[in-house]
Structures are given as C-alpha cells and as structure tokens.
Amino acid sequence: MELLILLYALPIFYFLFMIWKGVDARRDQECYILDYQLFKPTDDRMLDTEFCGNLIKRTKNLGLVEYKFLLKAIVSSGIGEQTYAPRIIFDGREDNPTMLDGITEMEEFFYDCVGKLLARKSISPSEIDVLVVNVSMLSSVPSLAARIINHYKMRDDIKVYNLSGMGCSASLISVDIVRNIFKSNKNLYALVVTSESLSPNWYSGNERSMILANCLFRSGGCAILLTNKRALKHKTMLKLNCLVRTHHGARDESYGCCIQKEDEQGRLGFHLSKNLPKSATRAFVDNLREISPKILPMSELLRFLIASLVRKMSQTSSKVGGATKPVINFKTGVDHFCIHTGGKAVIDGIGLSLELSEYDLEPARMTLHRFGNTSASSLWYVLGYMEAKKRLKRGDRVLMISFGAGFKCNSCVWEVMKDLGDANVWKDCIEGYPPVSLANPFMEKYGWINQEDPSTFKIPE
C-alpha cells in the first residue's frame, strides 16, 4: 500500500517541482533599473533668446518668409531659454561640421554620465556584462560603443550593441535588447547609453520641413544601469513589467514622414512631413491596442467592451452617429505617464487621446520647457522630473510612450520598487517648476517681423 502511495505521489511531487523551478527561473529573468544618470551640459552651452536670434540672423539662406515661420514655430514649441546646444553652434561653425565635432560631443556626455553612474553605485566597468549604445545620427568607426569600452577598459567578453538610425524611440529598443538577454543569462549588469549627436546635423538651408528640427532638438543624454540579479532586487528603483514595440515601416507614408535627406541645394537635414501627425496617431493606436490588455484590469477592459457594443448597437438601430465614443481609462492601470517630449503638439495630442489631466502632462511639458527634445533620452528627463517632485512611490506604475523615425511607437510599463526622490539634473531648478508662465519671450522680442513688408524687408545685421 505504501509503495502504491509513493508511486502516485512521485509524479505529483515532480509536477510541483517543475512548477516551482519554472517560477524560480522567471525570478532571474526580471529586468530592473538600479540607477540612471542624466546629462546636464555646462552653462556655456545654454541657448537663450538673444543667442537664438543671432543664430537665425547669421543663417544666410533665410528670408522674411522663413523668419515668420521660425518665429511661429519657436513661440508655439513649448521650449524655454535654458536648453542646450552643441559647442559647434557657439563657435559659429554649424555650416562646416566635422566628424570630430560629433565624436567630441558624444564623448563629453559619455564620460560624464557613465563615470558618475558607475561611481555612485560602486560598480567597476569590468563588471558590466552588456553594453547597448544608441545614437541615431552619428555612426563612426570604431563605433561609439567601442570608444566607451576603450575608455573604461571593459572586459573582452562584454556583449556589445551599437544602434543607429532608430530615432527618438531608441532607448526603449535598447531596454528591449537588454530584457531579451536577461531571459537567457543570469546575474548580469547591463549599461544602456542613449543620446543624439546634433553637431553634424544642423540644417543650414531654407526648407521649412527641415528647419523645424533646428527648433526642437537639443543636447542631452542618459546612462542607465540595469540588472537581473535577484540579490539586488531590494536596491533597485524600477522593474520592467512589459514592453511593446510597433513599427509601421512597411507603410510608405509612415516610412517617409520623418527622414534624413538632402534638400534641393544638397544640404543635409532632417525632414518632418505634414503626414507625421497622422502616422504617429496610427502607430500610437496600434501600440495601445497591444499593450492595453497587458496593463489594465479586466474590469476596465470589460467596461470598454460593453460601452463599445452599446454604442455600436445604438448607431445601428438609430442610424445616427451621435453617440459618444467610449475611451479606455488608462489611469485604472497606470499611475504616471512618461511621454516623449517630441513637441507641444505631441504632448497635447497624447493628453487628448488618453484624457489626461494637466497634472499628468506636467512632467513632459516641464521637461520640454527646460531641456527641449533630447531625442531618445527625453523619456528619462521626464522620469527625472517625476522623481525630483517625489511623485514616484513604491508600487506605482509608470507608462513610457515614445515615437521615432521608421515610423515607430514604443511603450513600456515600469513598477516603482521603492519611494524615489533623487533630483538628479533637476536639482538646481526643480523648486521653480512649474513656472507661473511658459510663454516664450521670442514674440515679445521679435514679433515686429510679422509686421514687415516683403518688398522692403532687409535682413537685420
């Protein structure tokens, strides 16, 4: 009898053991953020209204029509007077950049942020197992990742990924690479380095769709230290719950809406087409459709489904399309919204689509005002604002949303592992945010341009 019981018990115990083993293995596949370091350039690289005006005036290919366009774009951009530009702009050499200018710009960021981050966590560069670098518009040989490895004398067997051309959504692509590596390797440290090189990419022509990039993009960057070490769970800041990537590159309209190219005079620049908002909306909707079931409670999904069915039935019976379209309440599954600072219109559009309050949009608006659009690193400045304002509490969920050329929309949700409150690069100015007014002084100083007559206008000296 005892032997019979044992024979029955063994498969049950084996089954339970396999379940435990699977659950235990998943604990080694988690993706945690240990810390991150934002880059704050020196004050001699700060763009104020007067310098921006002088920069525009010395661009010889611009006329009154372009001045009016730029004035309107800058005033409505949501960008303030304390953003940063590369040194080449202040040296007056933006028309003749060199490869060295771009590399020097990146190295200044690399050595500042990576050094501070590793020192703060007391981690040696030789302990880094994975390095992912994303800089979209600068590709050098050796790679930028190789320059970091050489400078910090990292290990010979380090796994290295150097991404280019991925646009403003590249940092979440880098995180996704790390997440997939963590699934098959235990006890790793990963370093993600994200930035954009503006030095060789300043547009000096007069094509409106390409001038716009000069108004929006600013210098910045972030180094992020991630791990899947179970023993360090109590020391981590954030845990990755899910990540979704959407790519509409197969659609010609989406592919061409955000692209680097030369204008008719052969000047290289970054073209932003009129189809960009439409392409971004399509990618955003498809991305939300996939991530929603992963992050929202079943009660909210059922509510939305029932409301949609009721609306459809009422429209069918009455043949009138006046019923209000139901909207998913993302606040039932998300506590904070970390939105890419692609511009005021991007932030407003996401806020309208998700029915977010000004409190929800404040981190993105203030980041755009203080640091501008720093491309792939902008999400981390928004996260830094939330942390500096002590908004992030243990158990909170943070939704990150980013857009990039291709056209891509990437999103993810982080779970806050402990109460956070490090001010990072916001330390010296967080008390002044949000300011009383976000009004840009450009209109006050240069509004007279709108009154000028094209037939008599002369470029000011």
Buried b (16+ CB within 10 A) or exposed e, 321-359: eeeeeeebebbebbbbbbbbbbbbebbebbbeebebeee
Catalytic choice (31, 215, 369, 424): 369
- 207-to-63, 68, 74 alpha-carbon distances in Å: 11, 13, 16
| Closest listed residue to residue 399, CA positions, set 301, 299, 281, 292 | 292
Strand ranges inside 273-416, DSSP E: 336-339, 397-404, 408-416
Q: Is 234 assigned a catalytic role?
A: no
**Is 244 in contact with 290 (CB distance < 8 Å)?**
yes
Left if phi > 0, otherwise alpha if psi is -120 to 50, otherwise beta: which for 375? left
Q: Rounded to an integer, what distance in angstroms lies between the CA atom of residue 382 and that of residue 171?
A: 13
Q: Rounded to an integer, what distance in angstroms lies between the CA atom of residue 302 and that of residue 306?
A: 6
Token code pair at residue 53: 């005006």
Site of tokens 């997939």: 180
Site of tokens 């971004």: 280
Catalytic choice (336, 409, 410, 412): 336
Q: Rounded to an integer, what distance in angstroms lies between the CA atom of residue 211 and that of residue 72?
A: 12
Q: Is 168 assigned a catalytic role?
A: yes
**Is 333 in contact with 295 (CB distance < 8 Å)?**
yes
Q: Rounded to an integer, what distance in angstroms lies between the CA atom of residue 396 and that of residue 392?
A: 7
Buried b (16+ CB within 10 A) or exposed e, 174-197: bbbbbbebbeeeeebbbbbbbbbb
SS3 261: strand
Catalytic choice (31, 215, 247, 287): 247
Q: Is 151 assigned a catalytic role?
A: no
Instruction: Count how many Cα atoms sit within 13 Å of the Cα of residue 194 in the half-sphere of its side chain.
Output: 25
Helix H or strand E segment including 189 = strand 189-195
Catalytic choice (113, 201, 258, 340): 340
426-433 contacts, C-beta under 8 A, 24 or more apart: 426/370, 426/384, 426/385, 426/388, 427/388, 429/82, 429/370, 430/385, 430/388, 430/389, 433/366, 433/370, 433/385
Helix H or strand E segment including 36 = strand 32-38
Q: What letter would DSSP give residue 335?
A: S
Q: Rounded to an integer, what distance in angstroms lies between the CA atom of residue 273 and that of residue 81?
A: 26
Largest CA distance in the chain: 108
Catalytic choice (373, 410, 424, 440): 373
Catalytic choice (31, 52, 113, 168): 168
List active site positions: 168, 247, 336, 340, 369, 373
